[in-house]
Chains A and B, each alone.
Chain A
Amino acid sequence: MHTQLTSIRQRIGGRLLELELLITACLLLIAGIGILIAEAGGQVRWVDIAIVAAFVSFFIILSIGLALRGWGEDQIVLPLAALLSGVGMVLARRLEPDLIARYGDIHSGIAIKQVIWVFLGSLILMLVSFVPWRLRWLRHYRYTWLLLGLLLVGLTTIVGVERNGARLWLNLGFFQLQPVEPLKILLVVYLAAYLDDHRDLIGRASYRLGPLRLPPLPYLVPIMLMWGMTIVLIIIQKDLGAALLFFAIFLAMLYLVTNRSSYVAAGLLAFSAGAAALYPIFSHVRTRVDAWRDPWADPFGGGYQMIQALYAFANGGAVGAGLGLGNPTTVPESQTDFVFAAIGEELGLVGTLGLLLCYALLAIQGYSIARNARDGFQQLLAAGLTTAIVVQAFIITAGVTNLIPLTGITLPFVSYGGSSTLINFVMIGILLRISAAGKPPHVQ
């Protein structure tokens, strides 16, 4: 008994950093909720309690569970994800009344829904963490996964729910799935496996096209196909964000394998060429690029959202207007794509920089997991998953601040939305698994 307790204490002590970070994050959340309660005049709603309870129960319990199992996973990734999703919950709680006031009751209950998503996400995280599975399975059945993903996407294109001019959602009754999200993981898995298999071949030989060095022709084709798929995604699904993300993931993983930045350059060139070719044809591409170049040219049409976002940022200033005191709902889609603008307005430069810091830390930590991974596949997988999360964060934050053209993807963990949160937690789970230095060999 004594030794058991000692070992428990030892194990928990092993993950003390994570626990401390989680508690700090929890306190931050409580402070945020407290502010919102104070602004509501002391009225405590169920959802407020639910947020705090959720945070405590899901993450801290998860942490303790991981500690008890003692596989030695990375201790920083989970608190970061928890913090980000906690911020997401607080924001959803903050935005809900204003959204209802402005746009009607379709937005009612988003706070509790976000809590449910986070709950489901942490559930999945628990599953991924504790259900015995092997990383090898990912590698073996890569084509299956990929085909599944593509089928889902194809199905959505045909029978999906149309929203804002694109069919991105598949209605599964109680729940709307965005199949592009699982496709992310599946694509990463597939690419990691494929590139790892053909690491030498791709990395070594080269094929010259003028000043550029390209991978050998047999391997160039699949890569070209990859490029083609993303372009097609843009055309058909009008999902510029997903296309950009996939292409970025692909280039990152390619670079890791080949270590040649010329390939990356060529890839970027090809992507820009493709986008430029599409610009005059497709109005949705045009609108986005025009709004990026000069939102003031069409202040009430294409540039409206961007100008509102910029105005929100400007109003935020250095320290923000204060949680609950700004007017973030003037920015359309302030709870999903533009939640960063809401943070910018209410928490100011300090808040946004803090958030970016979280993602940067996540990136650093994720890449360090990749560096310390046991084999090439895991390395690539970890790198790919990290890239998927942080590059998505970069794309949306850069888009919202008008650094690059705006695309419609969510801010991982923070945006309100189900599929996105779930998939991100899955990715975190896989990362944790990869990072588990003390995991038994049979779960490789």
Chain B
Amino acid sequence: MSTPGWRRMLLFGWLTSAILLASCSTLPGLGATPTPEPPLFRYDTAIATAEAEQDLAHQAAAYLARGDAQADQNYYEQALADYTIAISHDPTSARAYNNRALVYQALMQYQAALVDLTAALQIDPTYVRAYKNRVALLEQSNGDQSQLAVDYGHLAELEPTNAAEYRYRQGSALHGLRDFAGARAAYDAALAANPQQIDALYERALLSYAEGQHSEALADLDRAIKLSPRAANAYYARGMVLNAIGDTAGALSDFTQTLALEPNNAEALLARAAVYNATGDTTNAIADLDRLDQLTISEDLKIAATTLRRILKK
């Protein structure tokens, strides 16, 4: 090398910089600022590609993907439009129906959401996510309880790992509908799946109690209390059962335990006052009623308290 390399280097440097700077339309302040790539860009391109090729399935998939992206960014109206197009291109897409239902739910159009979920489930009766969404929707909007029970049943079959919880909820829905036989079956199934499903245990105990099978109710409640020693309402329920079979001492101790865990439990106070009255312990009964007066309670409890007071006065 003859000439010092650095001089040549400098020359090159100048030339390079000149060329590069010449094309720096993207430098800030010297030209248009580069627009950041919009997050939907890739979806738009996918749709454009799909539209170009006229394949309905691809178009449906492309619109579905964009709908998903828009829904996640809370652009619900646009997502709705995209999902509708996706469905029109591919009416067998259960996922499109399901996702559109979610958007409807976000827009608070619960009826439409339910219709879509039903459609999705018609297409694919094993679509777990759609069941979960429908269940959530019905729970939230306090909808058709029998449908809720059926759905929980499906979920229990489709997702056996959570079968216990689903069966319990199914039982709960049936219980609310007063289908006691169905509720019992569901609770039994829940406990078969998970013997420590205490909610099912507790509710089953209540069911037995309502049907007059006090010993079974007691057995279930004993077990529930053993598993959850801090559950106030379990003690209360057991107290009621003991009272029903005549064990007033046991009932008293259980009600006292309930109040120890939950000092403002109006029902326990009232129940304990009633038991005191039945055993003739007027002072304690009145003390409990006085304590009850401090609380805000519902009408029927108020009437009961007044009646009890009147009975005690006599």
Residues of A within 8 A of B (CB): 101-106, 143, 146-147, 150-151, 153-154, 157-158, 164-165, 194, 197-198, 218-219, 221-222, 225, 228-229, 232, 235-236, 238, 281-284, 287, 300-302, 304, 332
With contacts A157-B20, A284-B34 taken as known, whether A104 is within 8 angstroms of B15 at the C-beta atoms is no
B17-52 contacts to A (CB < 8 Å): 17, 19-20, 22-24, 26-28, 34-37, 39, 42, 46, 49-50, 52
| Docked pose: A236 CA to B17 CA in angstroms | 12
Q: Is B5 an interface residue (CB 8 A)?
A: yes
Q: Find chain A residues with CB under 8 A from B4 CB.
A: 218
| Docked pose: A218 CA to B15 CA in angstroms | 18
Chain A residue at smallest Cβ distance from B68? A300
Q: How far is the CB of A99 from chain B (nearest CB, A)?
A: 11
With contacts A154-B19, A221-B9 taken as known, whether A236 is within 8 angstroms of B26 at the C-beta atoms is yes
Q: Which of B8, B35, B37 has the most chain A CB within a 10 Å cutoff?
A: B37
Q: Find chain B residues with CB under 8 A from A147 CB.
A: 12, 15
With contacts A106-B49, A229-B16, A300-B69 taken as known, whether A284 is within 8 angstroms of B5 at the C-beta atoms is no
| Docked pose: A219 CA to B47 CA in angstroms | 53
With contacts A165-B34, A300-B39 taken as known, whether A235 is within 8 angstroms of B26 at the C-beta atoms is yes
| Docked pose: A221 CA to B34 CA in angstroms | 31
Which listed residue (B6, B16, B34) contacts A218, Cβ 8 A? B6
With contacts A104-B50, A287-B36 taken as known, whether A154 is within 8 angstroms of B9 at the C-beta atoms is no
Chain A residue at smallest Cβ distance from B6? A218
Chain B residue at smallest Cβ distance from A156? B23
With contacts A235-B27, A284-B36 taken as known, whether A150 is within 8 angstroms of B16 at the C-beta atoms is yes
Chain A residue at smallest Cβ distance from B58? A104
Contact indicator B24/A225 (Cβ below 8 Å): no
Mask of B42-67 contacts with A, CB within 8 angstroms, 1/0: 10001001101101001001000000
| Docked pose: A301 CA to B46 CA in angstroms | 16
With contacts A197-B1, A232-B20, A332-B42 taken as known, whether A164 is within 8 angstroms of B72 at the C-beta atoms is no
Q: Find chain B residues with CB under 8 A from A103 CB.
A: 46, 49
Chain B residue at smallest Cβ distance from A220? B6
| Docked pose: A332 CA to B69 CA in angstroms | 14
| Docked pose: A302 CA to B39 CA in angstroms | 7
Q: Which of B23, B28, B37, B53 has the most chain A CB within a 10 Å cutoff?
A: B23
Q: How far is the CB of B48 from chain A (nearest CB, A)?
A: 9
Contact indicator A283/B34 (Cβ below 8 Å): yes
| Docked pose: A103 CA to B52 CA in angstroms | 12
Contact indicator B5/A105 (Cβ below 8 Å): no
Contact indicator A221/B20 (Cβ below 8 Å): no
Contact indicator A158/B12 (Cβ below 8 Å): no
Contact indicator B61/A146 (Cβ below 8 Å): no
Q: Is B10 an interface residue (CB 8 A)?
A: yes
Q: Find chain A residues with CB under 8 A from B35 CB.
A: 165
Q: Is B142 an interface residue (CB 8 A)?
A: no
Q: Is B13 an interface residue (CB 8 A)?
A: yes
Contact indicator A151/B46 (Cβ below 8 Å): no
Chain A residue at smallest Cβ distance from B51? A104
Count of B interface residues, CB-CB < 8 Å: 37
Q: Find chain B residues with CB under 8 A from A197 CB.
A: 1, 5
Q: Find chain B residues with CB under 8 A from A153 CB.
A: 20
Q: How far is the CB of A432 from chain B (nearest CB, A)?
A: 27
Q: Is B294 an interface residue (CB 8 A)?
A: no
Q: Is B298 an interface residue (CB 8 A)?
A: no
Q: How far is the CB of B267 from chain A (nearest CB, A)?
A: 46
- Give 17 new A-B contacts, CB below 8 A, not counting A283-B36, A300-B39, A332-B42: A101-B58, A105-B53, A147-B15, A150-B15, A154-B20, A157-B23, A165-B34, A198-B5, A221-B9, A221-B10, A222-B9, A225-B16, A228-B17, A238-B26, A282-B34, A284-B34, A284-B36
Q: How far is the CB of A123 from chain B (nearest CB, A)?
A: 32
| Docked pose: A281 CA to B49 CA in angstroms | 33
Chain A residue at smallest Cβ distance from B21? A232
Q: How far is the CB of B151 from chain A (nearest CB, A)?
A: 29
Q: Find chain B residues with CB under 8 A from A218 CB.
A: 4, 6
| Docked pose: A80 CA to B6 CA in angstroms | 39
Q: How far is the CB of A289 from chain B (nearest CB, A)?
A: 14
Contact indicator B27/A102 (Cβ below 8 Å): no
Q: Is B140 an interface residue (CB 8 A)?
A: no
Which listed residue (B6, B28, B37) contacts A221, Cβ 8 A? B6
13 A-B pairs in the complex with CB atoms less than 8 angstroms apart: A104-B49, A158-B22, A194-B9, A225-B9, A225-B10, A232-B24, A235-B26, A236-B23, A238-B26, A284-B34, A300-B69, A300-B73, A302-B39
| Docked pose: A235 CA to B46 CA in angstroms | 28
Chain A residue at smallest Cβ distance from B11? A143
Contact indicator A104/B53 (Cβ below 8 Å): yes
Which listed residue (B1, B22, B28) contacts A154, Cβ 8 A? B22
Q: Find chain A residues with CB under 8 A from B6 CB.
A: 218-219, 221-222
| Docked pose: A104 CA to B61 CA in angstroms | 10
Q: Find chain B residues with CB under 8 A from A165 CB.
A: 34-35, 37
Q: Find chain B residues with CB under 8 A from A332 CB.
A: 42
| Docked pose: A282 CA to B12 CA in angstroms | 27
Q: Find chain A residues with CB under 8 A from B36 CB.
A: 283-284, 287
Contact indicator A235/B15 (Cβ below 8 Å): no
Q: Find chain A residues with CB under 8 A from B28 CB.
A: 281
Q: Find chain A residues with CB under 8 A from B53 CB.
A: 104-105
With contacts A104-B50, A104-B53 taken as known, whether A143 is within 8 angstroms of B12 at the C-beta atoms is yes
Chain B residue at smallest Cβ distance from A300? B72
Contact indicator B24/A235 (Cβ below 8 Å): yes
Chain A residue at smallest Cβ distance from B46? A103
Q: How far is the CB of B275 from chain A (nearest CB, A)?
A: 56
Contact indicator B13/A222 (Cβ below 8 Å): yes
Contact indicator B39/A301 (Cβ below 8 Å): yes
| Docked pose: A311 CA to B28 CA in angstroms | 37
| Docked pose: A105 CA to B50 CA in angstroms | 9
Which listed residue (A164, A225, A283) contacts B13, Cβ 8 A? A225
Q: Find chain A residues with CB under 8 A from B42 CB.
A: 332
| Docked pose: A10 CA to B5 CA in angstroms | 47
Q: How far is the CB of A179 from chain B (nearest CB, A)?
A: 13
| Docked pose: A283 CA to B282 CA in angstroms | 79
